[in-house]
Amino acid sequence: MVKTNIVNDRGIPICKSMLAWLKWGNGATPQSTGKKGDHLIGDYYVEFDKHYRAEVRELQSRFEAEGMQQDAAKERAEKESPLMKEAHDMLVKWEQGDKEIRSLWRTMNDWVYAGFDETYRTMGVGFDKIYYESDTYLVGKQKVEEGLAKGLFYRRDDGSVWADLTANGLDEKLLLRADGTSVYMTQDIGTACLRYQDYPINRMVYVVGNEQDYHFQVLSILLDRLGLPWGKDIVHFSYGMVELPNGKMKSREGTVVDADDLMAKMIEDAKNVSADKVEKLTDITDDEANEIARRVGLGALKYFILKVDPKKNMLFDPEKSIDFNGNTGPFVQYTYARIKSILRKAGDVDLEAAKHATINDKEQALIQLLTTYPSVIEQAGKDFSPAQIANYVYDLVKEYNQFYHDYSVLNEPDSNIKAMRLLLSRCTANIIADALNLLGIEAPERM
């Protein structure tokens, strides 16, 4: 498996941010503002939209005063907006390689990447290969030109290039604008080709939200039409959206829950929760306490998201804090920490003695659950569903907690049974750690 990340680093949205920064930024930098680069650029994206909407409103009412219908007036206002025109002009210049624009673009992108890197690092996310749209869009453009030459696509009078998908029961799709610049689809065609060229892969999976179902349906058809044998086999793993209580997140309008803020808040919450619990751990240093809070906070967040079937939309209320009790990451982590505590005190496990132990109901149930782990992983892989792993590890941990509550390991007088329980505990801990690792969650040795 090759983990790739595709960064959409060019196009209209990027130009909007650059334009807004030029107009209203007063030369602000991450250094001068103390803001993360991606946040700073995101702010100007929102800023652009604010001015744009105000401009459209004004134009619209002027057109309406001239006697136009409301909808028509709005449409015309959006089309004729000078701000949007400026953004498009900038895009044309960018594609032409205009020195100033490219230099500004490079500077601002570097800010963004630095911000992304920081977030990925905190999150514990990494990639084998990162594709930048600014590199791949030219390949896409070339493919579109080839398709045009072969008569697979067609050019309109205004110069724009389109694919007619009505034979597939879909609409017509724009591939190149009238001014010659590329769109999202152009770039994605190029990126797909490069990914197949760069790696000997038999399948390509796009992990992208279900709001883009249509886009990937079209992409697959276009790749197939271009004669790429794998075109119709690309997999769009379409995940559900995280919804807020009052609707969808919109980056343009700034109504988003920021990942950095959320992670920081979770770690902070974990620290507060730990404060009264950690009294039990008398010999703990500040560094250790911070590390526990980090693992528990991020564990709670990741588990919260991953335990839900990825295909379904889920609801997240930022006002309510994510739980640390019940079916949660910390619940799983806590069980792990308790087992590790026992194992630390016990020392080596006598495997030979364990073989001669008798087994009670709870132990049997636990063993049975442990043996199903491989098949759970296999199924989760087939279904692309981390949720299945999360649900399994939750069941396992619940089973272990009952066992832990009902029977003592260290105080068991029968040495055979004690050895068996230690072995059982060690196996459980290993599987918890393995499952959590698959979910990208770290378990603390103590908490």
Partner RNA sequence: GCUCCUGUAGUUCAAUGGAUAGAAUAGAAGUUUCCUAAACUUUAGAUUCGGGUUCGAUUCCCGGCGGGAGUACCA
Query: Shortest approach of RNA to residue 226 CB, angstroms?
Result: 19
Per CB under 7 A, the segment of 124-132, 142-150, 156-164, 192-200 that binds RNA is 156-164
Which of 133, 236, 389, 393 forms a contact with RNA (CB under 7 A)? Answer: 133
Nearer to RNA, 99 or 280 (CB): 280
Residues 168-227 that bind RNA (CB under 7 A): 171, 174, 177-179, 182-184, 210-215
Task: Map the footprint of RNA across residues 14-73, applying CB under 7 A.
Answer: none
Alpha-carbon separation of residue 393 from 168, 310, 430 (angstroms): 44, 17, 11
Nearer of residues 92 and 438 to RNA, judged by Cβ: 92
Binders of RNA among residues 331 to 390 (CB under 7 A) are 331, 334, 337-338, 340-342, 345, 387
Closest CA to 188 of 382, 8, 308: 8
- Closest among 286, 298, 4 to 122, alpha carbons compared: 298
User: For RNA, which is the closer residue by CB, 225 or 311?
Assistant: 311
**Which lies closer to RNA via its Cβ, residue 327 or residue 430?**
327
Nearer to RNA, 28 or 208 (CB): 208
Q: Is 176 helix (H, G, I), strand (E, B) or coil?
A: strand
Q: How far is the CB of 209 from RNA (least distance, A)?
A: 8
How far is the C-alpha of 242 from the C-alpha of 104, rounded, in Å?
34
Segment lying near RNA (by CB under 7 A), choices 55-63, 260-268, 398-406, 430-438? 398-406
Residues 291-320 that bind RNA (CB under 7 A): 292, 296, 307-309, 311-315
- DSSP, collapsed to helix, strand or coil, labels residue 254 as coil
Which residues, listed in sequence order, are joined to residue 248 by a DSSP beta bridge? 243
Q: From the list 5, 12, 98, 254, which residue makes contact with RNA (rule: CB under 7 A)?
A: 12
Nearest to RNA of 66, 157 (CB atom): 157
| Nearest one of 293, 312, 347, 332 to 433, comparing CA atoms | 332
Q: Which of residues 79-118 bind RNA (CB under 7 A)?
A: 88
Q: In 3-state terms, what secondary structure has residue 151?
A: coil
DSSP state of 165: -
How many residues bind RNA (CB under 7 A)? The answer is 75
Residue 291: phi and psi, rounded to 5, are: -65, -40
Looking at the Cβ atoms of 74 and 340, the one nearer to RNA is 340
Residue 424 binds to RNA (criterion: CB under 7 A): no
Chosen residue from 101, 219, 263, 409 binding RNA by CB under 7 A: 409
User: Are 354 and 423 contacting, i.e. CB atoms less than 8 angstroms apart?
Assistant: yes
Q: Which two tokens stand for residue 353?
A: 């003695």
398's enclosing H/E stretch is: helix 386-406
Q: How far is the CB of 75 from RNA (least distance, A)?
A: 10
Token output for 168:
């597939």
Shortest spacing between CB 389 and RNA, in angstroms: 12
- At residue 35, the 3 state secondary structure works out as coil
Task: List the one residue out of 146, 156, 291, 157 whose CA is nearest residue 228.
Answer: 146
Choose, by CB under 7 A, the member of 391, 396, 439, 441 that binds RNA: 391
Dist CA 405 CA 99 (whole Å): 69
